[in-house]
Structure 1
């Protein structure tokens, strides 16, 4: 039986990598993910893993190394944040187009400018259309668990797409919490041996990766990613259920809290979901019929599940820790589209919050519920901004 450990989210991810022992890790340090690669480099130096660890000269190079290594037939992992993910942007699309099961942990951090090292989701949301599966964790335990499940999802033969394991910068990456790891041999059995598909180093069966594609086949390449994403949703659901049977920790693509009889719901991703549950408990003690909905999977977006969970509610607030300038937060239109065909649609309000790491306090979230109940929320709201 594994012993409970105390560490931060970055250390938990590094520990999961040690147990998986990937063939290649290529990375460039950037706050707040640096602890991941620092800790893992210690495992490499101490001989605790057999991983080829590559210190790249930039994040663009790190992802390029991961792409080359994965295409050659290696199990690959990396980590980044903020401007590092933005620097990778060009090659993120290549990783998905080449159907490479790369696992990347993203310590969510605001994008410049002005320069800011604290948490919001603008980095991951900026890459949401690049063909990567995106998981968002709430705490250190989920950071560890999602890291392990990311390998299973990415490497599934029905998917073969890269996966981002996203955790809130500093709030999860640097906060100490207790978590329960799996035993080393359990992890080995769980992730299994890596099965490369048409690796470049198989010289008896030569394969071309990344050639120029014109109008005759480009569309078909993209459609194959669409099909893989459709499969990925079912694979994610099955993976979460399998992991629950192994560990007793039950997860789902979306996780409702007191939704059954709730008239008013607030929806969020990441660490804010935990604060929301605390607020829901306080308000229900006052007799208010409120609930919360946590989204764990953002890509592929679980539209049918979200629609089923929210249909019939009176009003729903969608909390976005990022904004699309000139539009809304990125999660808001996804929820609107999910509910478009519902016969009993709730009123939907978008709340932009926590940009640049601004604290999210329980009383502010309670205020969101009050605005839903009183009908005073606008379609677009900015929580806590000084204007």
Structure 2
């Protein structure tokens, strides 16, 4: 039977990991994800899990250890943030190309420089093309639920890819919220035992991991990765449907909020979605028909599905908590505009960069954006690039 509790997002992820009981965890501390391996070490020390915890000298080493463990047939996990994720860069591609279903808790934090320890999405968005599945969490409940579902997605026979479950540093990772957690045996039965199939320690079936691939083979390996990624959306929905049966909580590729008759839509990721939902409610009280589409699955990107969800609105604000330095906007903006184009939807979409380094998103910002969207919907002029929200000139 599910039970109510109060805990931080980091504690919620650590609890999910205790219930999953992975074979190996390798981690190096970095703010604001440090608490996850810290909590988990207590579970190891108290005999509450059978996990082999590997204290390493760097994040590069933690991913190396996870790759070795996963290739050997173990269920492996790690946690990191910001520069720690950047230090893994080379190995993120190795894990994905070797088709290893490693899970990683990413507690989003701005990348240096200048040095900043607060939330934005520059770390995980920088890794968006590394071949990892990416799922984002709005709140502590979602951080817990997403991690319980993570291995069922990544270990699926049609996927076999690593997965990162992301939440916003400090905003959810350290804030205490009421959540509902499942019983240990319910999670254990839902996740199931890991059956790796091909692995290095299977002496009955010799197997190579990460071989050198010359031109006649490399292209096909990448094509196979792309094919596996194309299966992820269906698997995410399949797993979510099963998870709803045991939890009562429903998940999809994204969440639509007050979109039934919306004329203006905000497309956004993670914790700020809660802020925008609240402000949209206030705008509705003023007669402004606004709605929110909160993206949960970013990799692979559900472009066709998002375009369909937005097909009837007059204008869109695409909210990015990361700057791509492309002079065209952020990563979510680029992906969504591409999706609208490929679905032949001529809907004006303005890209807004907000919240870098933990900057607050305020009610006055949303009011200003809605005013700009109303003007955008009535104009035939080309969209003039992208805009920064809440930055001092």
Q: Residues of 1 paired with 2:73 and 2:88: CA distance? A: 21
Find out whether 1:382 has 2:362 as its counterpart. Answer: no
- Cα offsets for 1:30-57 (capped at 9, x unmatched): 0000010000000000111010000110
Contact in 2 for aligned 1:348/1:379 (Cα 8 Å): no
Following TM superposition, by how much is the alpha carbon of 1:368 offset from its aligned partner in structure 2, in angstroms? 1.4
Which is worse superposed, 211-220 or 201-210? 201-210
Find out whether 1:128 has 2:128 as its counterpart. Answer: yes
In the alignment, what sits opposite 2:230? 230
Q: Residues of 1 paired with 2:186 and 2:235: CA distance? A: 20
Contact in 2 for aligned 1:311/1:342 (Cα 8 Å): no
Contact in 2 for aligned 1:318/1:350 (Cα 8 Å): yes
User: Any residues of structure 2 matched to 1:203-242 within 5 Å, and which?
Assistant: 203-242=203-242
Find out whether 1:319 has 2:325 as its counterpart. Answer: no
- Cα offsets for 1:287-334 (capped at 9, x unmatched): 111111100000000011111011131110000000111332001111
Contact in 1 for aligned 2:2/2:247 (Cα 8 Å): no
In the alignment, what sits opposite 1:331? 332
Contact in 2 for aligned 1:266/1:369 (Cα 8 Å): no
In the alignment, what sits opposite 1:71? 71
In the alignment, what sits opposite 2:366? 365
Taking structure 1 as the reference length, what is the TM-score of the superposition?
0.98
Following TM superposition, by how much is the alpha carbon of 1:360 offset from its aligned partner in structure 2, in angstroms? 1.4
Q: Residues of 2 paired with 1:329 and 1:340: CA distance? A: 17
- Cα offsets for 1:132-189 (capped at 9, x unmatched): 0000000000000001111110111110100000000000100000111110000011
SS at match of 2:216: coil
Q: Residues of 2 paired with 1:3 and 1:365: CA distance? A: 36
In the alignment, what sits opposite 1:139? 139
Contact in 1 for aligned 2:8/2:176 (Cα 8 Å): yes
Aligned residues: 387
User: Any residues of structure 2 matched to 1:1-387 within 5 Å, and which?
Assistant: 1-327=1-327, 328-375=329-376, 378-387=384-393
When the two chains are superposed, the root-mean-square deviation of aligned CA atoms in Å is 1.2
SS at match of 1:77: strand
Following TM superposition, by how much is the alpha carbon of 1:343 offset from its aligned partner in structure 2, in angstroms? 4.4
SS at match of 2:79: strand
Following TM superposition, by how much is the alpha carbon of 1:344 offset from its aligned partner in structure 2, in angstroms? 4.1
Q: Residues of 1 paired with 2:345 and 2:144: CA distance? A: 38
SS at match of 1:119: coil
Which runs of 4 or more aligned residues in structure 1 lie more than 6 Å from their structure 2 counterparts after TM superposition?
none
Q: Residues of 1 paired with 2:63 and 2:392: CA distance? A: 38
Structure 1, unpaired ranges of 5+: none
Cα 1:102–1:274 change in 2 (3 A) is same
Contact in 2 for aligned 1:318/1:349 (Cα 8 Å): yes
SS at match of 1:216: helix
Q: Residues of 1 paired with 2:346 and 2:293: CA distance? A: 16
Following TM superposition, by how much is the alpha carbon of 1:243 offset from its aligned partner in structure 2, in angstroms? 1.1
Q: Residues of 2 paired with 1:341 and 1:125: CA distance? A: 22
Which is worse superposed, 27-36 or 375-384? 375-384
SS at match of 2:88: helix
Following TM superposition, by how much is the alpha carbon of 1:366 offset from its aligned partner in structure 2, in angstroms? 2.6
Following TM superposition, by how much is the alpha carbon of 1:193 offset from its aligned partner in structure 2, in angstroms? 0.7
Cα 1:247–1:180 change in 2 (3 A) is same
Taking structure 2 as the reference length, what is the TM-score of the superposition?
0.97
Contact in 1 for aligned 2:128/2:299 (Cα 8 Å): yes
Q: Residues of 1 paired with 2:384 and 2:266: CA distance? A: 14
SS at match of 1:69: helix
Following TM superposition, by how much is the alpha carbon of 1:109 offset from its aligned partner in structure 2, in angstroms? 0.3
Contact in 1 for aligned 2:137/2:271 (Cα 8 Å): yes
SS at match of 1:294: strand
- Cα offsets for 1:120-143 (capped at 9, x unmatched): 000000000011000000000000
Cα 1:213–1:343 change in 2 (3 A) is closer
Q: Residues of 2 paired with 1:159 and 1:326: CA distance? A: 31
